[in-house]
Structure 1
Amino acid sequence: MRLNILKYSLLLMMMALTLPLSAQKEVRKNVRKGNKAYQQQKFSEAFTFYNDALAENPSSPEANYNAGNTLYRQKEWDKSMESYQQYLALEKENPKKMSAAWHNIGNSLLQKKELEKSMEAYKMALRMNPEDEETRYNLAVVQKMIQDQQQDQQQEQQQQQNQDQQQQEPQNNQDQPKKPEEQQEPEQMSRDNARQLLQAIEQDEKETQEKVNKIKAEERKQKADENRRRNRDW
């Protein structure tokens, strides 16, 4: 965490030349009072002094940066980032200080759980100061958090898909029409059975015909006998 306050710099002194003498003194006084209060961890009081300095000179890099630190200490993440961004708009000559501002912006975004933006802020800090191991460590931590988050999301999606599929399968089974009960097909008659049945039928017909013929023969015999008797009677 890069929350060290910035001392009154040459840049601030040069900018102060454009201000009235009384205003210059007031800015320097408030920045120094703010630094003292910050070192005593009186962050709300320190912010008041830095804010007073900014009222005299809104373009004070030190007042903007240090105000961002006090806001960060008070967990005012959005406001702290505004102060750091204002500082970055003013500071163009000191890459290490600019890197520190981006580092702190990354920390603020991390506190807000905005991991992707936090990662980009740390990358900006490393571009300004590639040798910053603390920023490099924070970047690795955030990248691991993003990777874990993506894996958790994928697992949740897979679990949801499995649950949906399990719920859908019984419904599909209910929607499918029931298969009709299989009807028992009549047994096929073998050739031998068919031949035997045909022979039995032919035998029955033969016996029946023989009986009919026998009856007819008896009837003819009776008629012949009757005719012979009549002939005798005559």
Structure 2
Amino acid sequence: MKKTLLTILFITFALGLSAQKEARKAVRSGNKAYKEQLYGTAQGEYEKALGHDASSKEASYNLANTYYKQQRWDDALKEYDHYLTLEKDNPEKMSAAWSNVGNTYLKKKANEKSQAQAMQNQGQQPQQGGQQTDHLKLSMEAYKNALRLNPTDDETRYNLAVVQKMIQDRQNEDQNQNQDKQQDQDKQDKQDQQDKQQDPKQDKKDQQQDENQMSQDNMQQILQAIEQDEKATQERVQQRKAAEQKQKNENNRRQNKDW
């Protein structure tokens, strides 16, 4: 039993060594292709290395760099994140990874700006849906993480200062735009207030028109009533005259008969 267990452990160890050997071989091939700027070939070799040894820090870090060189920003960010889960012992290497993360977010921001400008040049409106990712702030935080691990990295410090200036400029621009919007709103409110002050006159005029219309309607009703009363009166007068004439005629007949 013990012999079988030892045999299994030996085979496992041997396979592990063989996998690591193949991984290092693939990494060397990837590094050669990377130096020759054959980033697609290098990517394939680093992926092969990780297939043999998923814990290979060098393969992971270099694979992220090949994604970066190919402008595959999301893949690069994902692989840098994977590398940072592997590297826990070397602050300088971790700092370099965080610095590259900051560079990647900065590249994503520049790419977004270029796409938006291209759409505007074509007369199209950039799509705005949902909450947009603030790549500048993510870049800033990545640079800060890098400097916490390696405060002597002057290049990262410079990049951080540039990004912070970009964020400040954007905030100033947003503030100016908000001020312009507020001024426009104040003008609109002032115009609305002026219109509102004019509205009572118009309302009064409309009210007078309504009152005049009501008076006209009432007057028409009164005239119609008077006309009806006059007709009724005339009819009563005519009836009374007719009755008087009839009575007069009857009296005349009686007098003629008496004669």
1: CA distance, partners of 2:152 / 2:102: 17
- Calculate the TM-score normalised by the size of structure 2: 0.60
| Residue 177 of structure 2 is aligned to residue 156 of structure 1 | yes
Q: Deviations over 1:48-89 (max 9, x none)?
A: 000010111111000000000000001111111111111111
Question: Which runs of 5 or more structure 2 residues have no equivalent in the other structure?
Answer: 1-12, 110-134, 205-259
Secondary structure of 2:151's aligned partner: coil
Runs of 4+ in 1 over 2 A off after TM superposition: 17-22, 177-180
Name which one, 1 or 2, has greater alpha-carbon Rg.
Answer: 1
1:55 paired residue number: 51
Q: CA deviation at 1:44?
A: 0.9
> Any residues of structure 2 matched to 1:74-153 within 5 Å, and which?
74-113=70-109, 114-153=135-174
Question: Which runs of 5 or more structure 1 residues have no equivalent in the other structure?
Answer: 1-16, 181-234
* Higher RCO (CA < 8 A, seq sep 6+): 1
| Residue 192 of structure 2 is aligned to residue 171 of structure 1 | yes
Name the amino acid aligned to 2:193.
N
Q: CA deviation at 1:175?
A: 1.5
Q: Which has the higher helix share?
A: 2
Q: CA deviation at 1:18?
A: 7.7
Q: Deviations over 1:69-111 (max 9, x none)?
A: 0000011111111111111111112111111000000111112
- Calculate the TM-score normalised by the size of structure 1: 0.67
User: How has the CA–CA distance of structure 1 residues 19 and 101 changed in structure 2, closer, same or farther, with 3 Å as cutoff?
Assistant: farther
Q: CA deviation at 1:20?
A: 2.8
Name the amino acid aligned to 1:28.
R
1:13 paired residue number: none
**Structure 1 vs Structure 2: percent identity of aligned residues?**
54
> Any residues of structure 2 matched to 1:168-207 within 5 Å, and which?
168-176=189-197, 177-178=200-201
* Matched positions, count: 164
Cα RMSD (Å) of the superposition?
Answer: 1.7
1: CA distance, partners of 2:92 / 2:14: 26
Q: CA deviation at 1:167?
A: 2.0
